[in-house]
Structure 1
Amino acid sequence: MEVRDFMIRDVITVKKETTIRELLKVLVDHKIGGVPVVDGQGKLLGMISDGDVIRFLQPKARTVYDFYITIVVNEREDFNEKLAQSLDLPVEKIMKRRELYTVKPDDDFENALSILAKHHFKKLPVVNPAGRVVGVISRGDIMRQITTKLINS
């Protein structure tokens, strides 16, 4: 089996200029956890996930004393303030650019499974030889396909 047999072809993407506010709306509206970030020609620039946003918004680590003093008073204010300041930032500021793994449509399906398992990724972009995103393969998609194609057939 090849990646093309399991990939989602109707890919939801964002541009690097997309704001975090717009990204969150896309993720919620489509009930997804992440998307590829592409340029105007559809070439992969990076990946952004709900986890990236959460890690970005997480308050800085504090000492035990600071934590005790500020948890009651300031933690909610710190989070709300950081959220308000961050919503209009472009996703380019927090997207993952390094260690991007991709597969091609004609790659062996087991190669995609191996990458997803080894790196604990939830989603993997599928690119053509020109580097354009032509699909995505996710753990959930794989489970649905395995159930549909292999177990129920």
Structure 2
Amino acid sequence: MAIKSYTGRRVKEIPKETRLKVSDYMTRNLITFSPEQPVEEVIEALLKYRISGGPVVNDKNELIGMISEGDCIKHISDSRYYNMPMAERKVGLRMIKNVETIDGNMNIFDAAKKFLEVRRRRFPIVENGKLVGQISQKDILKATMSLKSEHWK
């Protein structure tokens, strides 16, 4: 007896509501920084909380930039090179102002692809002009480990 047509194992379609979204895995309780903070406070926070950077927000919780370990290292290097006191530099002068964000409703695998394309360690999530969370590469890894390969959509 021969098999005439085999289309493979039939797997039930996963409903759209259960597909992984960025908002399901993003970090909501963030360590944020102010543009008026000294860079030294940022360095202390990065070391204390074992993070590699964070969002910079104004008093209305609107995202205005990002500051990273690299920005802090550049600050230290410039301060030593030009023999300037480090305490005089504020986050607002060292942060990256043109920040790319991700939509919280984006599929986790589309977000993973975006991480690969633009080479970032983290993306902030903004809703209605306010910072609501952040997704990191580690969050993407955690999300994918909670799935079985046959359910990856």
Same fold (TM over 0.5): yes
Aligned length: 131
Q: Which amino acid aligns with 2:87?
A: L
* CA distance, structure 1, for counterparts of residue 75 and residue 102 of structure 2: 27
* Residues 3 and 107, structure 1, Cα contact 8 Å, conserved in 2: yes
What residue is the counterpart of 1:139 in the other structure?
Answer: 137
1:52 shift after superposition: 1.2
* CA distance, structure 1, for counterparts of residue 62 and residue 111 of structure 2: 19
* Residues 9 and 136, structure 1, Cα contact 8 Å, conserved in 2: yes
- What are the ranges of 5 or more consecutive residues in structure 2 without an aligned counterpart? 1-19, 149-153
Moved over 4 A (4+): none
* Residues 21 and 88, structure 1, Cα contact 8 Å, conserved in 2: no
What residue is the counterpart of 1:127 in the other structure?
Answer: 126
1:79 shift after superposition: 5.0
TM-score w.r.t. the length of structure 1 is 0.75
Q: Which moved more, 1:106-115 or 1:38-47?
A: 106-115
* Residues 17 and 92, structure 1, Cα contact 8 Å, conserved in 2: yes
Larger Rg: 2
Q: Which has the higher contact order (CA 8 A, sep 6+)?
A: 1
Q: Which amino acid aligns with 2:44?
A: K
- What are the ranges of 5 or more consecutive residues in structure 1 without an aligned counterpart? 61-77
What residue is the counterpart of 2:3 in the other structure?
Answer: none
* CA distance, structure 2, for counterparts of residue 115 and residue 145 of structure 1: 15
* CA distance, structure 2, for counterparts of residue 44 and residue 111 of structure 1: 23
Cα 1:59–1:40 shift into 2, 3 Å: closer
What residue is the counterpart of 1:97 in the other structure?
Answer: 97
* Residues 37 and 91, structure 2, Cα contact 8 Å, conserved in 1: yes
* Among candidates 124, 129, 147, match of residue 150 of structure 1: 147
Bigger helix share: 1
Cα 1:37–1:59 shift into 2, 3 Å: closer
| Amino-acid identity (%) | 28
1:3-55 CA distances to partner (integer Å, 9 max, x unpaired)? 11121111111111111011111111111000000011111000100111113
Aligned residues: CA RMSD:
2.4
In the alignment, structure 1 residue 34 sits paired with structure 2 residue 31:
no
In the alignment, structure 1 residue 3 sits paired with structure 2 residue 2:
no
What residue is the counterpart of 1:63 in the other structure?
Answer: none
* CA distance, structure 2, for counterparts of residue 88 and residue 145 of structure 1: 41
